[in-house]
Structure 1
Amino acid sequence: MDADRQALKSYDPEIFAEIAGEEGRQTDGVEMIPSENYTYPEVLAALGSVLTNKYSEGYPGRRYYGGQEHTDAVERLARERACALFGAEHANVQPLSGSPMNQAAYFAVMQPGDTVLAMDLSHGGHLTHGAPVSHMGKVFNFVRYKTGEGGAIDFEQMMTIAKQVRPKIVLAGYSSYPRDYDYAGFRQVADEVGALAMADISHIGGLVAAGVMANPFDAGFDIVTTTTHKSLRGPRGGMILCRKGLAKAIDSSVFPGLQGGPHMNNVAGAAITFKKAAEPAFRGYAEQVLANAKTLARTLLDGGARLITGGTDNHMMVIDTVESFGLDGRAAEEALDRIGVATNKQVIPDDPRPPLRPSGVRLGTPACTTRGMGEEEMRRLGGWMVEALRAPEDAALAGRLCGQVRELCRGFAVPGVAKG
């Protein structure tokens, strides 16, 4: 045990015990929540560095505090690497997380009351894409499009809606949509009504960076937002990428418009992440994420699960657990928790059930792929998940499956987890 961990254990054994417990949970179980991943040891080092001590309100060369020579260099590297990775003309790496990231993007180009055409939440959209309970849903007028048969986007219908409501932004983005997007279709709708085309690729940012999924900038998008964790494997944070003409408005909206000083330890972690994502090994990782997702989806389908959209093009899938197993999403999540597989309850399109007891669960493959698991492990895990969901009250079965999951996990280390 290193000196810092020993000091924490001695000073605050209660907090130390919970951190150690979380390390054990991550090591002994399988993380299949698609928005979670294991970051790099190098990123963890940056997050715990002296950069956390420094206040850097402003932007490189234009700070409100002195002593910024090193923080300026860090942020410049992060911005340059982000632009190169995604093919963007400008990058703002200061947003503290995904929600303020999208809020800053909206306020940069719209006035309160302006309209955004975005995906319906139950069809896969995100909380920040116009949920009535969110502040953004109260400030801006969000009009929603839905998916059709098999999860396809009906662009003719979207065009009709866009001509009726004249949105300022046409937003492509999702939180639980298992397919890729036809970004050219969104761009066409935006052009027809004089709107900006914006994509929130938070879930698939790493897959886009690796070149294994489509890049919205290739279709001429104006703004692209992404979190820096999830499939990118970086620190928790957000980033706004845009064309050059929007750079000033975006930067002013982030600071001083929405937030104060950035977390420079996170910015350093993001810079490290972008460097990692530009390496050939990361493309191999991203390709394996997709291969694992397709294999897991096929295993679940073969086991009788109904998947929303019938499969997946990306890293995630959503099981209709009510139709498949007679369980609401909360009960299904708890049944999988008992065998050491972490997922999250999830609404399905036009779900009649409430959000805390929805009709499905969402799962994905980035974290287990980070540990080195492959398609054979996906077949085993998929089979165990089906067993658990078919008999959620069978304690003996849950105990046996939990042991099998734990035994599987012993062969795949979690990056960055301390020993002892």
Structure 2
Amino acid sequence: MDSQKSRQTIENLRKIHEESLILNPTENIPFCSDVNLDFLEGMYISEEMRNENSKVIFAGRGNLNELYDFWCKYMNAKAVTFKPHSGLDAHISVFMSLGQIGEKVLLLPEEAGGHFSTHQILSRLGFDVRSFMIDKEQYKVDILRSIELIENWKPDYIFVDRSEGLYYEDFSWLKEISCIKIFDASQYLTNIMAKDYDNPFDMGFDIILTSLHKNYPGSQKAAVFFRQKDELWEQVMKGLNIYISNIHPKDVCSLLLNLPSDSNLKKYSQKMLSTTRLLEEILVKNHLPVVRRNFNNTWTQHLWLQPENKERAYQFFRLLEDLHILTNYRLLPYGLGYGLRLGTAAAVRQGLEEKSVPALAEVISKAYYANAIDDMLRKTAYTTISKIKKV
């Protein structure tokens, strides 16, 4: 009976997925191939060569890191590991490998789009954590005030961990700062790989952490890229070998098999950004409560809607959900309050193109002003989503 109930729950999830457009920036549809990797489930496969001095070796296995060169090339990295199982797992294990209790970490705060868990994680690990100074009017880091803080406080680490933001900021002003600098690319990975965004290594960062299932359409894994294969790399890898026992080789092999060509990745990156911009421009034209930005800056695929109050935001979120348009309801950064977060990364993978954006924007606009769903709106939403997904 429990099995039957589980099957029904899973089937319900499948039906919702098939009928819906994913219009948030932190979920995605993985690249996949027809190669069956099920035989890798539950196996232990090392990333590195092992010998008689290794503590444990499993027979009948090779090592995987000889296959990592293409990923390193995309990111202009000297080394990469796919050991972490998620973005926050990477945060915890890397900082446990690097730091000592009492060392100082300068962090992008939640108020400026930083991940809401990171400050708590680093504090629990025993670090002394302070935040970048921010410019709430421009939705960016306040560079001058942050430099003053850095010069006076002298952090051991700088961690730019942004899970939310309208702009991809230039942090090259950190180049001359003498400390270990770490960047989380989870929300920007595709655009960095496609060279639509500047590489954080070119801004002076030493390590890039990233999940592989948000902006990039991969397995639910994480990666750690290293600018140099040096003592810092050795220190982190030594720690990761202690804190993470299994790399989940099926997911890693899926990432290796399904790495797209340069041209396909470029098309995906640019379509993600162009559909976001067009959607925002039409919603602004339709007088929806868009948090507007300056497109002369480097923009992201994140789009924010800020209804007049929390209740209205939540109601609109649920209304779109009922139309099978799946967004995020969340507390927006920079003191904006509650609103909706939209993004097109998964929608593009589902079939969204520039030509279909006006119809999608029209459904969203009608839903906002009607504040209710009638049969006509429901039918229009169904037709629009079906055309996008080419069902």
Q: Shared fold by TM > 0.5?
A: yes
Structure-1 separation of matches of 2:36 and 2:129 = 40
Q: Which residue pairs with 1:247 in the alignment?
A: 233
**Aligned residue type for 1:375:** E
1:31 maps to 2:31:
no
Gaps of 5+ in 2: none
Q: Which residue pairs with 1:22 in the alignment?
A: 13
Q: Shift of residue 136 of structure 1?
A: 2.5
1:359 maps to 2:338:
yes
Q: Which residue pairs with 1:167 in the alignment?
A: 155
1:141 maps to 2:119:
no
What TM-score, normalized to structure 2?
0.89
Q: Which residue pairs with 1:270 in the alignment?
A: 255
Superimposed CA distance per residue, residues 246-288 of structure 1 (whole angstroms, 9 cap, x where no aligned partner): 21111122221x2222211111122124x21x43112111111
1:8-407 alignment, distance < 5 Å? 12-42=3-33, 45-46=36-37, 49-56=38-45, 59-61=48-50, 64-70=56-62, 72=63, 74-77=64-67, 79-130=68-119, 134-139=120-125, 140-145=127-132, 146-188=134-176, 191=177, 194-242=178-226, 243-245=228-230, 246-256=232-242, 258-273=243-258, 275-276=259-260, 278-308=261-291, 310=293, 313-322=299-308, 327-351=311-335, 359-392=338-371, 394-396=372-374, 399-407=375-383
Superimposed CA distance per residue, residues 37-63 of structure 1 (whole angstroms, 9 cap, x where no aligned partner): 1112328943xx111131236744366
What TM-score, normalized to structure 1?
0.83
Greater fraction of residues in helix: 1
Q: CA separation of 1:114/1:400 partners in 2, compared to 1, >3 Å: closer, same or farther?
A: farther
**Aligned residue type for 1:264:** P
**Aligned residue type for 1:251:** M
Structure-1 separation of matches of 2:338 and 2:34 = 36
Q: Shift of residue 216 of structure 1?
A: 0.6
Q: Which residue pairs with 1:4 in the alignment?
A: none
Percent identity reads 17
Q: Shift of residue 219 of structure 1?
A: 2.1
Q: Shift of residue 206 of structure 1?
A: 1.2
**Aligned residue type for 1:300:** L
Q: CA separation of 1:402/1:203 partners in 2, compared to 1, >3 Å: closer, same or farther?
A: farther
Secondary structure, in 3 states, of the residue corresponding to 1:244?
coil
Q: Shift of residue 328 of structure 1?
A: 4.7
Secondary structure, in 3 states, of the residue corresponding to 1:296?
helix
**Aligned residue type for 1:405:** A
Q: Shift of residue 161 of structure 1?
A: 1.5
**Aligned residue type for 2:304:** V
Q: Shift of residue 412 of structure 1?
A: 4.1
Q: CA separation of 1:315/1:123 partners in 2, compared to 1, >3 Å: closer, same or farther?
A: same
Runs of 4+ in structure 1 over 6 Å off: none
Q: Shift of residue 350 of structure 1?
A: 4.5
Secondary structure, in 3 states, of the residue corresponding to 1:321?
coil
Count of equivalent residues: 381
Tell whether the 8 Å contact from 1:27 to 1:409 is kept in structure 2 after alignment.
Answer: no
Q: CA separation of 1:53/1:280 partners in 2, compared to 1, >3 Å: closer, same or farther?
A: same
Structure-2 separation of matches of 1:171 and 1:11 = 45
Secondary structure, in 3 states, of the residue corresponding to 1:116?
strand
1:410 maps to 2:364:
no
